């Protein structure tokens, strides 16, 4: 069986009025969701050959997903969005994990040169964490996009509050998104393989200092444990996929997280417009 992406199942065709009512006027309405299938063998090992989430990858159904996302984004003009911001009855198109995703946020995904914001990245990494637990029995802890700036500005001790309610060394993966000089990158801590990998879609080796900060943080977080982090591997992912413009770094950050955690072994690195729409439809399915 071929590998499949972390993606939502096809949504039924609706009119724009129906979709507006479902997504904006009544965001708590139910919708179909894809059920994840465990990839654990009888021996308790992950079967990497099987798809994470079963889906119909036919061209027809993928296009329906994309058309649905396009229609919902087109429902609201920029002027209408500006008016809605002052409307007390304004509701997000989807919500979860303490995050409200607005129409404006989704527009950043659907625009070819849209630069993703904290809302989209935080929401999507939490979706990945949820899917990894359900589908792969893998524990993934997503740090907030605000964690790394807190680490630099407030110090290691104060930054620890971002994960104080979770034993990060009991997680399989830690996802640490970083925004530095208007550029999104990702650090993945693999507690199983005992390695920390830095993903940068511009392959800027000058950012290696980010790894040093993460290592120092892990050393402080490890004070009550006997882990020898000097035996761990801290490295740049020099062969990571490269973005072809100056605006796709946020999308690549989301895709790096999917790939590194095993949720998506079939990323279409050469078709980022498709991946943008796939991420949008996945986010919309959370309503």
Q: Based on the number of CB atoms within 10 Å of its own CB, is 130 exposed (0-12), middle (13-18) or buried (19 or more)?
A: middle
Q: Tell me the C-alpha distance between 94 and 279, whole Å.
A: 13
Q: Tell me the C-alpha distance between 221 and 182, whole Å.
A: 28
- Tell the residue number behind the tokens 């991946």, with chain if given: 275
Q: Is the dihedral of CA 222, 227, 231, 237 positive or negative?
A: negative
DSSP bridge partners of 185: 178
Q: Tell me the C-alpha distance between 284 and 280, whole Å.
A: 6
Is 183 part of the annotated catalytic residue set?
Answer: yes
Q: Tell me the C-alpha distance between 116 and 100, whole Å.
A: 15
Structural contact between residues 64 and 10, judged by C-beta atoms closer than 8 angstroms = yes
Structural contact between residues 135 and 263, judged by C-beta atoms closer than 8 angstroms = yes
The distance between the two most distant Cα atoms of the chain, rounded to a whole number of Å, is 59
Question: Exactly one of 183, 210, 248, 254 is catalytic; which is it?
Answer: 183
Q: What residue ranges in 65-179 does DSSP mark as E strands?
A: 94-96, 99-101, 140-142, 173-179
Question: Exactly one of 200, 210, 248, 254 is catalytic; which is it?
Answer: 200
If DSSP codes are grouped into helix, strand and coil, which group holds residue 115? coil
220-225 own/partner pairs: CB under 8 Å, 24+ apart: 220/156, 220/157, 220/160, 221/160, 221/163, 221/168, 221/169, 222/169, 225/169
Is 200 part of the annotated catalytic residue set?
Answer: yes
If DSSP codes are grouped into helix, strand and coil, which group holds residue 199? strand
The token duo for 121 is: 């990245």
Q: Catalogue the active-site residues.
A: 183, 200, 249
């Amino acid at each position: 069986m071929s590998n499949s992406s972390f993606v939502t199942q096809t949504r039924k065709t609706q009119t724009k009025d129906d979709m507006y009512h479902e997504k904006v006027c009544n965001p708590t309405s139910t919708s179909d969701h894809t059920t994840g299938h465990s990839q654990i063998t009888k021996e308790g090992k992950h079967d990497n050959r099987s798809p994470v989430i079963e889906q119909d990858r036919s061209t027809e159904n993928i296009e329906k997903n994309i058309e649905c996302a396009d229609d919902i984004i087109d429902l609201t003009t920029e002027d209408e969005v500006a008016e809605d911001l002052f409307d007390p009855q304004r509701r997000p198109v989807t919500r979860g994990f303490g995050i409200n995703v607005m129409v404006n946020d989704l527009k950043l995904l659907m625009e070819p040169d849209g630069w993703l914001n904290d809302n989209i990245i935080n929401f999507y990494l939490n979706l990945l964490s949820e899917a990894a637990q359900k589908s792969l029995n893998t524990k993934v802890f997503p740090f907030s996009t605000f964690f790394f700036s807190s680490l630099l500005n407030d110090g290691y001790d104060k930054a620890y509050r971002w994960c104080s309610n979770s034993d990060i060394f009991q997680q399989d993966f830690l996802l640490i998104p970083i925004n530095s000089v208007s550029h999104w990158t990702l650090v993945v801590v693999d507690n199983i393989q005992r390695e920390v990998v830095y993903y940068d879609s511009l392959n800027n080796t000058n950012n290696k200092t980010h790894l040093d900060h993460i290592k120092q943080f892990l050393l402080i977080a490890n004070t009550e444990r006997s882990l020898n982090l000097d035996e761990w591997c801290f490295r740049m992912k020099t062969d990571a996929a490269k973005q072809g413009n100056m605006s796709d770094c946020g999308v690549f950050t989301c895709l790096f997280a999917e790939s590194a955690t095993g949720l998506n072994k079939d990323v279409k690195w050469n078709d980022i417009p498709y991946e943008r729409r796939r991420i949008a439809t996945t986010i919309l399915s959370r309503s």
